[in-house]
């Protein structure tokens, strides 16, 4: 995976959220609003509205750390990432071996 500029990562997340099925929207909502105890209703047409609201939230200012956390939820198959402050990009996180794995 190549480094992804933060603004591009935000847009990729927003687009993925817009296309997500209802059950995944609930998971993304929980990631973006961890203090909320109730989960959103995604029945019927409500899922499309929630998808738009969440995508707008992503585009309008989540912190880099939130981008990383959400990235790792939205794209779990892709290699985990971290935020590189020096060049404002997401970079692949490398797995650290525990001593018993050597």
**37-57: per-residue pLDDT in tens?**
888 988 888 999 999 999 999
pLDDT over 90 at 79, yes or no: no
Mean residue pLDDT across the chain: 87
pTM of the model: 0.82
Residue 44's pLDDT is what? 83
Strand order across the beta sheet in which 89-92 lies: 4-5, 89-92, 81-84
CB 91 within 8 A of CB 32: no
Residues 80-98 have a mean pLDDT of 78
């Amino acid at each position: 995976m190549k480094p992804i500029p933060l603004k591009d990562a935000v847009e990729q997340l927003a687009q993925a959220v817009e296309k997500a099925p209802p059950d995944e929207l609930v998971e993304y909502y929980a990631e973006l609003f961890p203090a909320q105890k109730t989960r959103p209703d995604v029945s019927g047409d409500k899922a499309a509205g929630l998808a738009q609201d969440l995508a707008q939230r992503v585009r309008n200012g989540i912190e880099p750390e939130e981008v990383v956390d959400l990235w790792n939820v939205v794209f779990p198959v892709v290699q985990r990432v971290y935020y590189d402050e020096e060049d404002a990009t997401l970079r692949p996180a490398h797995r650290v071996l525990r001593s018993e794995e050597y």
